[in-house]
């Protein structure tokens, strides 16, 4: 595998939560958030820092859903997406504005969640949007397939994944299932001419 240019190395790091060039943070509650601009870690990050905590829209939505007794209408393993969409980053400034087509229940959840967000802001919690916990490196490869040039003939192996992580300067290996996801993303890249 060839060297990865500084440009793409920085891009790759911006996909990894909780570092100096990334808008993503993994919070202790298990959810991932994104900020509009790059911000340092907060006191509720997985690796906490001394800064103000981030608002976790997913947790707030779930608290409201449970408070209203709506949990049976929700899939336990999935965040209540409709409500979450009411609280995407664009709407953080006006969290009580639901998206077009949102149901009455969704609007009610969004309104109550909006009040909670206002309360947390007064306690200096920082604004954030909910975002999916995907493997950052795999997402980087999907978004910038041109970043990694490799021989097209052979299918990528796990060693290529480890080489890639080395080239990116990632010393702490991601979870095993994430290694598989990175390998998949590399395989997809290898399909070109
Ligand atoms: Zn963080
Ligand atoms: Zn959370």
Tens digit of pLDDT for each residue in 120-171?
Answer: 999 999 999 888 888 999 999 999 988 887 666 778 899 999 999 999 988 8
Say yes or no: 35 and 102 in one domain: yes
Strands annotated E in the chain? 24-26, 32-34, 129-131
| Residue 43 sits in the same domain as residue 94 | yes
The answer to whether 136 and 15 have CB atoms below 8 angstroms apart is: yes
Q: Which ligand is nearest to the CA of 28?
A: 2
Q: Among 83, 112, 131, where does a domain finish?
A: 131
- The answer on 124 and 38 residing in a single domain is yes
Question: What's the gap in Å between 66 CA and the centre of ligand 2?
Answer: 14
Where does a domain end: 82, 107, 131?
131
Q: Give 17 Cα–ligand 1 centroid separation in angstroms.
A: 6
Same domain, residue pair 62 and 112: yes
Q: What is the pLDDT of residues 27-59, one digit of tens each?
A: 999 999 999 899 999 999 998 999 999 999 889
Expressed in angstroms and rounded, the spacing between residue 96 Cα and the centre of ligand 1 is 26
Whether residues 29 and 49 fall in one domain: yes
Please give the residue range of the domain that contains residue 167.
135-189
pLDDT per position as a tens digit, 85-99:
555 545 544 555 556
Tell me if 82 sits within 8 A of 103, measured CB to CB.
yes
Looking at residue 36, what is its pLDDT?
Answer: 87
Which residues surround the ion ligand 1 when the cut-off is CB under 5 Å?
A: 18, 25, 41, 45
Report the separation in Å between the CA atom of 23 and the middle of ligand 1, taken as the mean of its atom positions: 9
Q: Please tell me the number of the ligand nearest to residue 23's CA.
A: 1
Whether 82 is covered by a domain: the verdict is yes
Q: How many domains does the chain have?
A: 2
User: Using one digit for the tens of pLDDT, what is the confidence trace for 10-23?
Assistant: 999 999 999 999 99
The pLDDT-based confidence of 107 (bands split at 50, 70, 90) is confident
């Amino acid at each position: 595998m060839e060297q990865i240019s500084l440009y793409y190395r920085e891009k790759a790091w911006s996909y990894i939560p909780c570092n100096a060039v990334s808008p993503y943070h993994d919070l202790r509650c298990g959810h991932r958030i994104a900020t509009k601009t790059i911000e340092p870690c907060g006191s509720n990050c997985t690796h906490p820092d001394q800064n103000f905590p981030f608002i976790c829209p997913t947790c707030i939505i779930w608290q409201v859903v449970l408070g209203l007794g709506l949990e049976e209408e929700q899939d336990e393993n999935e965040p209540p997406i409709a409500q979450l969409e009411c609280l995407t980053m664009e709407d953080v400034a006006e969290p009580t504005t639901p998206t077009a087509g949102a149901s009455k229940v969704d609007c009610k959840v969004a309104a109550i969640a909006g009040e909670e967000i206002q309360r947390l802001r007064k306690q200096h919690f920082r604004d954030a949007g909910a975002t999916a916990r995907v493997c950052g490196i795999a997402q980087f490869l999907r978004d910038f397939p041109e970043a990694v040039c490799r021989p097209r003939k052979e299918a990528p192996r796990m060693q290529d994944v480890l080489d890639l992580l080395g080239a990116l300067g990632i010393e702490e290996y991601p979870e095993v299932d994430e290694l598989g996801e990175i390998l998949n993303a590399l395989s997809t890249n290898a399909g070109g001419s």
